Structure 1
Amino acid sequence: MSDHEISAHDAAADEVSAIVEGVRQFVRREIAPRVARLEEADGFPQDVVDAMAGLGLFGMVIPESHGGLDLPLADYVAIMEELAAGWSAMPSFLNSHCTVARLIALYGTEAQKARYLPQLADGSRRGAIVLTEPSAGSDLKQIRTQAVPQPDGSYVLNGQKTFITNGLRAGLHIVLARAPAADGKGPISLFIVEPETPGFEVTRVIDKMGFKHVDTAELRFDDVRLGADALLGGETGKGLPQVLSMLETGRLAMAGTALGMAREALSIALQYAKDREAFGQPIAGHQAVQIHLANMATQLAAARALLGEALRHKARYGRADMFASMAKLFATETTMQITQDAMRVLGGYGYVAEFPIERLYREAPIYVLTEGTNEIQRIVIAREMIKADGPERLGLV
C-alpha cells in the first residue's frame, strides 16, 4: 500500500469514526435523558424515529446514488451498539428495515431500486422483512404462503405470517412465498408488497414481554394481487439464497445490538455499586459485588473481541458464516448473563420497574431468539467446523 493509499485509508477511517461518534453524542444528548419517559409513554415514539431519519440512519446500507450513506459493515454494527446502549428499542426500528434495503439494493431491478431505495433512505417508507409463519420458524423451506402466477405475469398471494417486526407501521413489506406444486415444494421467491394493497391485513399486534414500542405483528394475505414488478429481481426461485445472503450481516448487527445493552447494564451496575453504601462503605468495596463486576466486564470484553474478529474475517474473506454465528451466539448469551448479574448487584432495586435493569433483564432474551435462535447458531458453527479441512481453513490459527 502506497503512502497516498495509507493516507486516504486513514482519512476514510476518521470520517467513519466521526459518523459513529455523531450517533453516540446524539444518543447521549437527545435519548438517554428521556428513556424513562419514553418507556412510560403509551404512544409510538415518532419523534425518535424522525430524529433517526434526520441523521440518515435509515439509509445506512443504501448506496449514495440512491440517497443513502452506504456505510461499511463495521460502522453499521457500531451504530447499532450505540443505539442499543441508549435505548434498546431504537435498533429494532432499523434492523429489519436495513435488511429490506439491502435486499433491494443487491437484488432489485433498476426500476425497484429507483422506486423504493430513496424512500427507504429518508425514512418515508420503513421496511419489514416477512418470513416467519405459524408452522415454519427457523426452517424457511417449510413455508406455506403461496404466490400463484397468473397468465398475465402477475401473482396472487395467499398466506399468513407471524412475529413480523415493524409489521404494523412498515411502509414496505418483503414477503417470502412459494409457487404451488404437486409436492408442495414449489420455487421460493421474495415479493415486494405495499401495505395499501387490497387483501393485505394486519390481523394482530402481539403483546410481548419487552419492547412494547416495537410493533410485532401477524399478517394475512388474502388473494393479494401483485404485478410482475413485485417479484424481487424479476426472477423466480431466488428467494432463499437472497434471504440467506443477509444472515451474516444480520447476525453481526444483532451481536452489536446485544453488546450495547450489555454495556449499559454494566455501566448502571458499576455506578450503583459506587454510590450505594452498606456496612459503612460503598458496596463496590465488597468482594461479592466485585466478583460480579469483574465477570461482567470480562465477558463484555471477550464478546467485543469475538465480534471484532468476525468483522475482520468478513472484510478479509467476504464470508464469515462461522464467526458471525459465534459472535451472535456469544454476545447474546453474554448479554443475558450480564443483565442477570447487574440485577444481583442492584439487589431488590434491580427488580423494580423504576430502575432500568428490570427492563434490560426482560428484553435480553429476545436477542437469543432472533436472527436465528442460538441453537441454530451452534449448528452452523459445528457444520462449518466439520466441513473444514483444518484450523487454517477456520481461521483459528
Structure 2
Amino acid sequence: MTHSPSTNRNAYMSDELQQIYDQTVAFVANEVTPFGESWERSGMVPRDVLKKMGTLGMLSLRVPEQHGGLGMGPLASATFAEALGSSTFAGFDVTVLVHTDMSGPHLVNSGSESQLQNLLPGILAGETILSIAVTEPDAGSDVAGIRSTAVRDGDGWRINGSKTFITNAAHGNMSIVAARTDGDNRYGISMFLVPAHTEGFEVTRKLDKHGWLCSDTAELSLNDVWVSDEQLLGTPHRGFYATMQNFQNERMVLVGMGVGAAQTAIDLTNQYTQDRKAFGGHLYDLGAIRQRLAMDQAKVDAVRASMYHAAWMEEQGLDNVKEMSGVKAWG
C-alpha cells in the first residue's frame, strides 16, 4: 500500500520549516521505508544513508551558521523529528536523532573552538556518528547517580565504568561520555569526547530488543580509558547541568517521531478503510469506523500542537520544562 503523508501545517510552521518537513518526508519515502525491513534484519542503518542526509544538510539544522550549519532552533528539530517518524521504522529515527539532537548539542553548546573546527565537519557530513553515554545499570534518569569515574592522570583523565542502553554505540564513531570527576559533589560530573577506537573503550554486548532493531543499542565498558584535556567537553564538573539542559530537546524529538509514526498509522488505516469492502460497502462508510479515526486524529493533533508550542517556548527562551514533560508523558 502506498502512503502519502499528511501535510504538516500548524500555527508555528513557516515556509522554511515546511520545506524541511517536505524534503525529509520525501527522503524517507525514497531512501528509508523501502529498505527498512532489511535494516531491521541487519541490526543497523547503513552509513551511506546517513552520509546522504549529511549531504542534504539534514544533520546540521541546529548548528550555528559560522560552523557550517543552518542555525535553526527547536521548531526545526520538532519538524525534522516528525518527518522522520513517517518512516514507520523508529530504529532509523532514533539513530538519526541521537546523533543530531541528543549527542550533537553537547558539542555545539560546550565545545571549544578547536573541538568544533576539528569535529563538526565529519559530524555534519554523517561520517562521524555520535552516541551519548550517560545511562548506567544503576543510573538512568537519575543522572546524578552515575558511578563511572574520571580521575586526573597527567595532562588528561583516566575513565573507568560501564554504560548501558547506549544508542549508536556499536557502530558509531565517537561517544560523549559522562563520568564523575568530583567525588564529593553529587552533581560533579564532566563530559568527555571518546573516539570508539580508544584503548579500553569496549562494546561488551549488543542488546537484543523486541523492536527498533536497526538502531544498534549496546553496553559499554570503559577500562582505564585515557583521554587528554583536549577531550574534556565544556567546564569540568558541569556535565550534570549540561545533560539536564538538553533533556527538554531530547523529549521533544522523541515526541516528534512518535507523532510522525502515529500520523502515518492513521493515514494508512484511513486509506485501508476506504479500499476495503465489507458489509455491502467500504469500511469507511460505517459511522463507527469514521468516529474512531476522528478520535485518534484528534489525539495526535493535540499532542502535535502541544509539542510545537513547547518547542516555540524554548525558541523564545521561555521555561518549558512543565510543558515538555507533560507532552512527553501524554504523547
TM-score, normalised relative to structure 2: 0.89
1:132 aligns with 2:120: no
- The 2-side partners of 1:117 and 1:90 are apart by 22
2:163 partner SS: strand
- The 2-side partners of 1:46 and 1:314 are apart by 32
Q: Which has the higher helix share?
A: 1
Quote the residue 1:267 is aligned against. Answer: 267
The answer to which structure, 1 or 2, has the higher relative contact order (CA under 8 A, 6+ apart) is: 2
Deviation digits for residues 287-338 of structure 1 (CA, Å, limit 9, x no counterpart): 332332122111111111111221232233433111111222222xxxxxxx
1:144 aligns with 2:147: yes
- The 2-side partners of 1:96 and 1:310 are apart by 20
The amino acid across from 2:165 in the alignment is: F
- CA shift at 1:50, angstroms? 2.8
- The 2-side partners of 1:206 and 1:174 are apart by 20
- CA shift at 1:93, angstroms? 1.8
Aligned pairs for 1:70-149 within 5 A: 70-86=71-87, 87-98=89-100, 99-149=102-152
1:245 partner SS: helix
- CA shift at 1:38, angstroms? 4.6
1:243 partner SS: helix
The amino acid across from 1:31 in the alignment is: V
Quote the residue 1:27 is aligned against. Answer: 28
Deviation digits for residues 253-310 of structure 1 (CA, Å, limit 9, x no counterpart): 1111110010111111111111112222112222332332122111111111111221
The amino acid across from 1:110 in the alignment is: E
Greater Cα radius of gyration, structure 1 or 2 = 1
Contact 2:78/2:308 (<8 A) preserved? no
The amino acid across from 1:88 in the alignment is: A
C-alpha distance 60-54 of structure 1, shift in aligned 2 (>3 A):
same
Quote the residue 1:174 is aligned against. Answer: 176
Quote the residue 2:206 is aligned against. Answer: 205
Q: Which has the higher strand share?
A: 2
Contact 2:17/2:79 (<8 A) preserved? no
Uncovered stretches (5+) of structure 1, i.e. residues with no partner: 1-11, 332-397
Uncovered stretches (5+) of structure 2, i.e. residues with no partner: 1-12
- The 2-side partners of 1:304 and 1:288 are apart by 24
Percent of counterpart pairs with the same letter?
32
- The 2-side partners of 1:325 and 1:54 are apart by 33
The count of corresponding residues between Structure 1 and Structure 2 is: 317
2:316 partner SS: helix
C-alpha distance 140-114 of structure 1, shift in aligned 2 (>3 A):
same
The amino acid across from 2:116 in the alignment is: K
Contact 1:67/1:122 (<8 A) preserved? no
C-alpha distance 275-173 of structure 1, shift in aligned 2 (>3 A):
same
Contact 2:44/2:213 (<8 A) preserved? no
Choose from 165, 168, 181 the match for 2:167. 165
Aligned pairs for 1:356-367 within 5 A: none
- CA shift at 1:185, angstroms? 4.3
Deviation digits for residues 188-245 of structure 1 (CA, Å, limit 9, x no counterpart): 1111111111111000110001011110000000011111111112x31101011111
1:222 partner SS: strand
C-alpha distance 197-35 of structure 1, shift in aligned 2 (>3 A):
closer
- CA shift at 1:179, angstroms? 2.4
Quote the residue 2:300 is aligned against. Answer: 300
C-alpha distance 173-274 of structure 1, shift in aligned 2 (>3 A):
same
- The 1-side partners of 2:19 and 2:131 are apart by 29
The amino acid across from 1:308 in the alignment is: Y
TM-score, normalised relative to structure 1: 0.75
C-alpha distance 16-265 of structure 1, shift in aligned 2 (>3 A):
closer
- The 1-side partners of 2:280 and 2:33 are apart by 32
- CA RMSD, 1 decimal: 2.1
The amino acid across from 1:163 in the alignment is: F
- The 1-side partners of 2:305 and 2:28 are apart by 24
- CA shift at 1:115, angstroms? 1.6
1:174 partner SS: strand
